[in-house]
Amino acid sequence: MNNKQIQKFALRYLEQTGCHIIEKHPAYVTVKLSPEADKRLTNRSYYWSFVERTGAPPETMSFTFVFDPDKLNAEAEAKAKTAAPPPAGGGVQQQQGDAPRVLGPSGQPLAQGESILGRYFGVSAPAAGTFGPGRIPREEVTFGSRRLLQLFDAVRSAGKYVQLFEEPDSSSRGAPPSLGSSGYRSYLCTHVKLELECDMKRDELHSLAVDLTTGELIEQVQDKCSGRKLTPRLPPNVYIARPAVTIAKARTIIEQHVEKMLKRYDHGWAASANERLRDELERVDGYYEETVKALTDEAKQEAEQQWSKRREELEWQFQPRIRVHVVSGGLFHLRSPL
């Protein structure tokens, strides 16, 4: 992901969770978190348990999330170069009849009540109506950063299971359903991840769904749903047709389909991995067999433990295996069949 993609992802999450955008810049955004986002991102479980127990009004935190540190630093340097040079050592400028004006190191006069420490070192007086300094924490949200990984985890945990309804078209919006209407059709949709692992790895993501009316399995569901407008709320004057297939049965249909799909795969990669494993084990066994013979009893016991541990490591590294798990899933209620 590049900086623009990360920024788009983060802003979408902040907007969806109801956060208040204070300042938006191409390189950063300053935001006041909503209660939902604060609970997921700030790790203040004790504070939120206190709020829930006492019913006190919550006070969420504010952050400045920086998406492009290089651009922000370049802008700061450019501003510093264009600023007027300060007088030697800074100091106090005073004109006749005026109050003294204190200049900072940049040569700019400080506002009334502002200190040099407050402007240049982040030490400022508390904002009105708040406790503690009014300074907003700044964090970088770049690829691989801790904060971005936390956003990924928050989205994954909150959006793993969903229920969505297709919005009706403009012509039928607001009109009651007709007697001959069949209603919305329901689908159990899943994203199934296949991980083929040995000393190498291959991941596959399959988008599968089951029509709960007919029991038909449908592939590439993500592409077929991409053009539909979906909402988490049931639209007015819409009813859902009663499904003939239960969710448990639909899950079984998906599991059976994945099993059949894996049986059709060419598993030559697994045979090659087992052959490499045998070669590695023979090499390790040959080394330790000769080494152990020349050792005393105490040293021999330690060498045998290392030998056993090394074999376990090789089996974990080379042993072929297939992992299957559901990344996300949900019920989709659609106006027309997929």
Q: Counting Cβ atoms within 10 Å, is residue 158 exposed (0-12), middle (13-18) or buried (19+)?
A: middle
Beta bridge partners of 65: 29, 139
pLDDT in tens for each of the 338 residues of the chain?
788 899 999 999 999 889 999 999 999 999 999 999 999 998 898 999 999 999 889 899 999 999 998 888 888 888 888 875 655 555 544 444 444 454 454 455 555 444 444 444 444 443 333 333 458 888 899 988 999 999 988 888 777 888 999 988 765 555 555 444 557 899 999 999 999 999 999 999 999 999 999 999 999 998 888 888 988 888 888 888 889 999 999 999 999 999 999 999 999 999 999 999 999 999 999 988 888 887 877 888 888 899 999 999 999 999 999 999 998 899 999 988 88
Cα 326 from Cα 193, distance rounded (Å): 6
Q: What is the residue extent of each domain of the chain?
A: 1-77+117-127+134-158, 159-267+323-334, 268-319
pLDDT, position 62:
93
pLDDT, position 195:
95
Cα 264 from Cα 194, distance rounded (Å): 14
Would you say the C-alpha torsion 79, 85, 90, 93 has a positive or negative sign?
Answer: negative
* Three-state DSSP state, 296: coil
Question: How is residue 55 annotated by DSSP?
Answer: -
Residue whose token pair is 């407050």: 118
* Three-state DSSP state, 208: strand
- Contact residues for 73 (Cβ-Cβ < 8 A; gap 6+): none
* Three-state DSSP state, 331: strand
The pTM is what? 0.62
Per-position DSSP letters for 16-47, written without gaps between them: HTTPEEEEE-SSEEEEEPPHHHHHHHS--HHH
Nearest to 71 by CA among 3, 149, 145, 147: 3
Cα 233 from Cα 176, distance rounded (Å): 17
Cα 333 from Cα 185, distance rounded (Å): 5
Cα 242 from Cα 213, distance rounded (Å): 8
Per-position DSSP letters for 131-158, written without gaps between them: SS--PPPEEE--TT-HHHHHHHHHHHHH
pLDDT, position 170:
66
Beta bridge partners of 66: 28, 140
* Tokens at 325, concatenated: 């798990």
* Three-state DSSP state, 289: helix
pLDDT, position 84:
58
pLDDT, position 313:
94
Cα 150 from Cα 44, distance rounded (Å): 14
Rounded to a whole number of angstroms, the CA Rg of the chain reads 31
